[in-house]
Chain A
Amino acid sequence: MHRLSLLLRNKPGALARVVVLFSTRDVAVESLSLNPADADGLSRLDVQVRLREGRSVDQLVHQLRRVVDLCEVSAA
């Protein structure tokens, strides 16, 4: 299980793109919570995910960074 913390721009489709990426890459979402971030126009997305065996969270983080409306992502 990995905890991801994402900072997203409040743009239409930003959340959808992240969620579809999980689905495309066969990442199982265990929990997901979206809240307004401190800064204007941004949202904090906290997710717990389960990866397929042999797949690394670093790779997922790199794939998330391709999302244009993602400002930050960190994994724990």
Chain B
Amino acid sequence: MNGALALIKALEAVGCETVFGIPGGAILPAYDPLFDSAKIRHVLTRHEQGAGHAASGYAQATGRVGVCMATSGPGATNLVTPLADAYLDSLPVVAITGQVARPVIGTDAFQEADIRSITLPITKHSYQVTDPDDIPHVIAEAFTLAASGRPGPVLVDLPKDVLAAPAAWTEPEPPVVVRPRLDPAGVRQAADLLARAERPVFYVGGGVVRAGAAALLLELAERTGVPVVTTLMARGAFPDSHPQHLGMPGMHGTVAAVAAMQKADLLVALGARFDDRVTGSLARFAPEALVVHADIDPAEISKNRRADVPLVGDCRDVLRALNASVTTGGDLGAWWAYLDGLRTTFPLGYDWPEDGSLAPQYVISRIGELVGPEAIYTSGVGQHQMWAAQFVRYERPGSFINSGGLGTMGFAVPAAMGAVCGAPDRQVWAIDGDGCFQMTNQELATCALEGLPIKVAVINNGNLGMVRQWQNLFYGSRYSQTSLGSTPDFALLAEAMGCVGLRCSSRPGVDDVVREAMAVRDRPVVIDFVVGADAQVWPMVAAGTGNDEIMTARGLRPLCDSDTGEDL
């Protein structure tokens, strides 16, 4: 047995079923035994970045480790963006990279890049294997590390001669996952605060999804009657149809969700990290709230906002303990009356463009209605992402896969490809923007050839829409370098890559074209939704301002006591 065969056998032994990748010089030995593997499906992507995001999409759709593979040098550096993305969104991903042979490491050999050093700040851990006998246990350790504690990406760099050398096989040890022990005193304090709070909020983040704790959250919410907000990474962790759900907080959150956090006397943060997109100006964030902060990573607690009650633990354990400890909460009648008033007065909404063009929010809400909550939705980054977060109704954890922390444009198509590999029985819809789509659409060719029938709804406003929105609001409508023009023809581009290409530019056609796409099962479908360029994402908390200054439209600040109505 050589190192390469040990690698493939180790991947099989730890339960890896799908690898996204591209072969090349240094990783070539690994692709030879992979050719014979009956257990591992290799999806040959068109760009390593696609392989990396596909591994993330797979990980989020399945809850298991996503795996990508690339050769040394440029193959490996093309994984940098997906690794950074997976690091910031805490995704269990293992990246396997080829490396030049040991004798020439450090000599600027052909296709040599020090990928371990390059990825140090964006990986949870990394290995460079120098002894082929180490391969089985390094692979097992990498999988365990990626998935345990706070999940994250792990890199395994394999010099070509290590892959080619004889290797001893030792069965990898099954992973031992240790969960931190919860501090019972902290749980009691949290339960006590919950019982006394008059204006409590559950601030739910992606940690609840990663922990598989959505059912326990529902139990705690119903037991206590406390309002719930779900961040971008947690959409679906609590059903949108639930009356206690106020929606998404933050920069483009609902008025009710933003106000609930801002006016709360108790914030119970569950697997959330007080990101600046949620808090706005930290100095002005939730000024009257005590904070219970539950997170599996102690380094997140009190990083941005001091926690009054820190709870280090897996959200399953935290929620189970809270469910066992809380008695009935206090009377929340006045709190709910206030929040219900905001919900009624400031529901999510949008105006139809005056020029008669299609409203992007309408397109996205119709996709959500027609495709339903059993599907998986992915998105890129920008206006379409925020509308996908606002106007699709999510009922299941993990049903919205997007790039939250890093904000990686081009995430939608490859993530959808990975998601459909992991969940082939679900419809997978990528809601994309025309800017994002042009960054990674080459993976449609992969999807067509591999028989991965993803649907891509390109919300095509011919612009880098979110940047244009900021230029409109903050740069005097000087639209510097945000127009993308009207080429290429996305429907023709889709057809050229073996997909079905459709187009819709009017309101009456939306339902029909979505149904037409849903009926296609053997190929990917791209729908070019030609929408107006002037639609904006509202509400909005401008970067660096306080959440109290949330605007429901330009200059309209419903939470400011003395709203002068002046412009920005």
Chain A positions near chain B (C-beta within 8 angstroms): 12-13, 16-17, 20-21, 23-24, 56, 58-59, 62-63, 65-66, 68
B residues 117-156 near A (Cβ < 8 Å) are 117, 120-121, 124-126, 128, 145
- Is the CB–CB distance between A20 and B120 below 8 Å? yes
- Is the CB–CB distance between A13 and B116 below 8 Å? yes
Pick the interface stretch among B193-201, B270-278, B297-305, B459-467: B297-305
Other than A12-B128, A13-B126, A23-B121, give 4 A-B pairs with Cβ distance below 8 A.
Answer: A13-B120, A59-B302, A59-B303, A65-B298
Across-interface contacts of A59 in B (CB, < 8 A): 299, 302-303
With A13-B120, A16-B117, A17-B120 as contacts: A68 and B125 at CB distance below 8 Å: yes
Identify A66's interface contact among B120, B124, B128, CB under 8 A.
B124
- Which residue on chain A has the smallest CB distance to residue B145? A68
- Is the CB–CB distance between A56 and B297 below 8 Å? no
- Which residue on chain B has the smallest CB distance to residue A23? B121
Q: Within the complex, what minimum Cβ distance (angstroms) separates B195 from chain A?
A: 29
Q: Within the complex, what minimum Cβ distance (angstroms) separates A43 from chain B?
A: 18
- Which residue on chain A has the smallest CB distance to residue B128? A12
B residues 270-308 near A (Cβ < 8 Å) are 297-299, 301-303
- Is the CB–CB distance between B117 and A56 below 8 Å? no
- Is the CB–CB distance between B302 and A56 below 8 Å? yes
Tell me, in angstroms, the Cα distance from A16 to B120 when the chains sit together.
8
Tell me, in angstroms, the Cα distance from A56 to B307 when the chains sit together.
13
- Which residue on chain A has the smallest CB distance to residue B300? A62
Tell me, in angstroms, the Cα distance from A64 to B223 when the chains sit together.
38
Chain B interface, number of residues (Cβ within 8 angstroms): 15
Identify A24's interface contact among B121, B125, B301, CB under 8 A.
B121
- Which residue on chain B has the smallest CB distance to residue A59? B303
- Which residue on chain B has the smallest CB distance to residue A17? B120
Binding site secondary structure of chain A = helix
With A12-B128, A13-B126, A13-B128 as contacts: A65 and B299 at CB distance below 8 Å: yes
Across-interface contacts of A20 in B (CB, < 8 A): 120-121
Across-interface contacts of A24 in B (CB, < 8 A): 121
Q: Within the complex, what minimum Cβ distance (angstroms) separates A44 from chain B?
A: 21
With A56-B302, A62-B299, A63-B299 as contacts: A68 and B120 at CB distance below 8 Å: no
Which 9 pairs show the lowest CB-CB distances between chains A and B? Answer: A62-B299, A20-B120, A68-B125, A24-B121, A62-B298, A63-B299, A20-B121, A17-B120, A59-B303
- Is the CB–CB distance between A66 and B121 below 8 Å? no
- Which residue on chain A has the smallest CB distance to residue B297? A66
Across-interface contacts of A56 in B (CB, < 8 A): 302
- Which residue on chain B has the smallest CB distance to residue A64? B299
Tell me, in angstroms, the Cα distance from A15 to B297 when the chains sit together.
22
Tell me, in angstroms, the Cα distance from A62 to B65 when the chains sit together.
25
Tell me, in angstroms, the Cα distance from A58 to B301 when the chains sit together.
10
Can you list 14 A-B contacts (CB < 8 A)? A12-B128, A13-B117, A13-B120, A13-B126, A21-B121, A23-B121, A59-B299, A59-B302, A59-B303, A62-B297, A62-B298, A62-B299, A66-B299, A68-B124
Q: Within the complex, what minimum Cβ distance (angstroms) separates A25 from chain B?
A: 9
Across-interface contacts of B301 in A (CB, < 8 A): 62
- Which residue on chain A has the smallest CB distance to residue B117? A16
Q: Within the complex, what minimum Cβ distance (angstroms) separates A57 from chain B?
A: 12
Tell me, in angstroms, the Cα distance from A62 to B303 when the chains sit together.
10
Tell me, in angstroms, the Cα distance from A17 to B119 when the chains sit together.
10
Q: Within the complex, what minimum Cβ distance (angstroms) separates B48 from chain A?
A: 22
Across-interface contacts of B121 in A (CB, < 8 A): 20-21, 23-24
Across-interface contacts of B145 in A (CB, < 8 A): 68
Across-interface contacts of A65 in B (CB, < 8 A): 298-299
Q: Within the complex, what minimum Cβ distance (angstroms) separates A61 from chain B?
A: 9
Across-interface contacts of A16 in B (CB, < 8 A): 117, 120
Across-interface contacts of A21 in B (CB, < 8 A): 121
- Which residue on chain A has the smallest CB distance to residue B149? A66
- Which residue on chain B has the smallest CB distance to residue A18? B120
Q: Within the complex, what minimum Cβ distance (angstroms) separates A64 from chain B?
A: 9
Q: Within the complex, what minimum Cβ distance (angstroms) separates A4 from chain B?
A: 15
Tell me, in angstroms, the Cα distance from A13 to B120 when the chains sit together.
9
Across-interface contacts of B117 in A (CB, < 8 A): 13, 16
Across-interface contacts of A66 in B (CB, < 8 A): 124, 297, 299
Q: Within the complex, what minimum Cβ distance (angstroms) separates B117 from chain A?
A: 6
Tell me, in angstroms, the Cα distance from A56 to B299 when the chains sit together.
11
Across-interface contacts of A58 in B (CB, < 8 A): 302
Tell me, in angstroms, the Cα distance from A21 to B299 when the chains sit together.
13
Q: Within the complex, what minimum Cβ distance (angstroms) separates B129 from chain A?
A: 10
Tell me, in angstroms, the Cα distance from A34 to B123 when the chains sit together.
24
Across-interface contacts of B297 in A (CB, < 8 A): 62, 66
Tell me, in angstroms, the Cα distance from A68 to B121 when the chains sit together.
13
Tell me, in angstroms, the Cα distance from A63 to B145 when the chains sit together.
16
Across-interface contacts of B125 in A (CB, < 8 A): 68
Could you give, for residues 91-133 of chain B, a 1 whenever the CB lies within 8 Å of some chain A CB and a 0 otherwise? 0000000000000000000000000110011001110100000
Tell me, in angstroms, the Cα distance from A68 to B303 when the chains sit together.
20
Tell me, in angstroms, the Cα distance from A13 to B145 when the chains sit together.
16
Tell me, in angstroms, the Cα distance from A20 to B120 when the chains sit together.
7
Across-interface contacts of A12 in B (CB, < 8 A): 128
